[in-house]
Amino acid sequence: MGRAFVYVILGGGVAAGYAALEFTRRGVSEGELCIISEEPVAPYERPALSKGFLLPESPARLPSFHTCVGANDEKLTPKWYKEHGIELVLGTRVKSVDVRRKTLLSSTGETISYKFLIIATGARALKLEEFGVEGSDAENVCYLRDLSDANRLATAIESSADGNAVVIGGGYIGMECAASLVINKINVTMVFPEAHCMARLFTPKIASLYEEYYRAKGVEFIKGTVLTSFEFDSDKKVTAVNLKDGNHLPADLVVVGIGIRPNTSLFEGQLIIEKGGIKVNSKMQSSDSSVYAIGDVATFPVKLFGEMRRLEHVDSARKSARHAVSAIMEPEKTGEFDYLPFFYSRMFAFSWQFYGDPVGEVVHFGEYEDGKAFGAYWIKKGHLVGSFLEGGTKEEYETISKATQLKPAVTDKEELEREGLGFAQTV
């Protein structure tokens, strides 16, 4: 049993949705493109899962957040794929790939062959078991990567009203979920090994702004330690969390966000892997010329920094997807992928954006008060390489983005601090 397509996208997440739209815009014919995904639903905007999806009132539900609404573009419902002659093979895991023969084998036993393959398998959440802690499968321990995790978390939230939640991890999932839990009137304690939240990006000063606000909302922080074990009741539900520092925290619900691993295993030994991801060139093409990789799973050259990077954010998933499709369908007209890393988050009424690279010395500007600019610049070898801004307007975010792309020279850091946002406006 087998089917043949010109283009196959392996994975049905954010990058797959944006690639599909780009294929139709560049004139794919009926029956040429297939998307095969383990998830039972058409591609959707994954960021909604830790935000709108968890709201107590009118939570976001599909079909409202199918791609590509996150970029204010068309909403690709299952009907859209049908109308565009795109084969959507859902709820189907790909078990193996033979890159030399250009075939995939699905869990249903079907062989699918391709001329061009786009790998868009994203990543999986790291499990506590990988750090030596057992009990992740308890019904009130929640991870958050896909829709089924989000449904599980939403149900656990409903049955934990006025109860206690322990959030493990102080990264994106930890911070966004903690805010959502508070909004659902659940008491939250956050536990993480670092000295402050969002340690991969935030400086202590930036982190303190958010931590102070979270504390005012009742969130407790236990830093510099990790969880060592769970306690269970007779139904195998977690009742408490034990920490390395000796703390014992009663818990009705545990949310775990301790990082991810890219889903590369199907390609190990077949394609070059670098920095944990599938190595691609500036056209998103892997070490096999018929295979491309996009989104969280791809390690690509970031021209601006002259380095290979793997990014775990939605903007790079969207843009790398568009670029790969352009490179496949119009190779002569497609230049190098010239990408400025962009991260953002929203929690409570906060909203921040970051552009570039958080390396080198940091200059903060402004003090956070309603209506005033609060942010930071990162300077490396005398040039601006990263910019952070909380609560900016659309124009202000565009300004810091453009300035960071230009890597202007910074000669006087005190002046930069005084000028603040004004510096980016004059670049």
Binding site for ligand FDA (CB under 6 A): 11-16, 36-39, 46-47, 49-50, 93-94, 120-123, 144-145, 263, 266, 295-297, 312-315, 317, 343-345
Task: Concatenate the DSSP letters of all residues of 102-131 into one string.
Answer: TEEEETTS-EEE-SEEEE---EEEPPGGGG
Q: How far is the CB of 145 from ligand NAD (least distance, A)?
A: 7
Q: How far is the CB of 260 from ligand NAD (least distance, A)?
A: 5
Given the complex with ligand NAD, which of 246 and 269 has the nearer CB atom?
246
CA pair distance 203, 359, nearest whole angstrom: 11
CA pair distance 415, 427, nearest whole angstrom: 14
Q: How far is the CB of 399 from ligand NAD (least distance, A)?
A: 21
Q: How far is the CB of 256 from ligand NAD (least distance, A)?
A: 8
Q: Token digits for 116?
A: 């061009």
Q: How many residues does the chain have?
A: 427
Q: Give the start-end residues of each E strand in 251-366.
A: 253-256, 260-262, 273-274, 277-279, 291-293, 298-302, 307-310, 342-347, 350-356, 361-365
Element (H, E) at 413: helix 413-419
Given the complex with ligand FDA, which of 314 and 340 has the nearer CB atom?
314
CA pair distance 85, 29, nearest whole angstrom: 7
CA pair distance 377, 385, nearest whole angstrom: 8
Residue with tokens 């095969």: 36
Q: Token digits for 317?
A: 């998933």
Given the complex with ligand FDA, which of 173 and 191 has the nearer CB atom?
173
Which does residue 263 touch among ligand FDA, ligand NAD, none (CB within 5 to 8 A, set by kind)? ligand FDA
Q: Token digits for 161?
A: 């009203």
Which does residue 317 touch among ligand NAD, ligand FDA, none (CB within 5 to 8 A, set by kind)? ligand FDA
Binding site for ligand NAD (CB under 6 A): 50, 131, 168-174, 176, 192-194, 199-200, 226, 257-260, 312-313, 343, 345
CA pair distance 1, 45, nearest whole angstrom: 33
User: Which residue minimizes CB distance to ligand FDA?
Assistant: 13
Which does residue 259 touch among ligand FDA, ligand NAD, none (CB within 5 to 8 A, set by kind)? ligand NAD
User: Residues 395, 396, 401, CA angle at the centre, nearest 5°?
Assistant: 95
Which does residue 390 touch among ligand NAD, ligand FDA, none (CB within 5 to 8 A, set by kind)? none
Which does residue 37 touch among ligand FDA, ligand NAD, none (CB within 5 to 8 A, set by kind)? ligand FDA
Which does residue 251 touch among ligand FDA, ligand NAD, none (CB within 5 to 8 A, set by kind)? none
Given the complex with ligand NAD, which of 319 and 407 has the nearer CB atom?
319
The single-letter DSSP state of residue 4 is E
Q: How far is the CB of 75 from ligand FDA (least distance, A)?
A: 16
Given the complex with ligand FDA, which of 39 and 252 has the nearer CB atom?
39
User: Residues 421, 424, 427, CA angle at the centre, nearest 5°?
Assistant: 150
Given the complex with ligand NAD, which of 166 and 373 has the nearer CB atom?
166
Which does residue 315 touch among ligand FDA, ligand NAD, none (CB within 5 to 8 A, set by kind)? ligand FDA
Residue with tokens 């536990």: 191
Q: How far is the CB of 124 from ligand FDA (least distance, A)?
A: 8
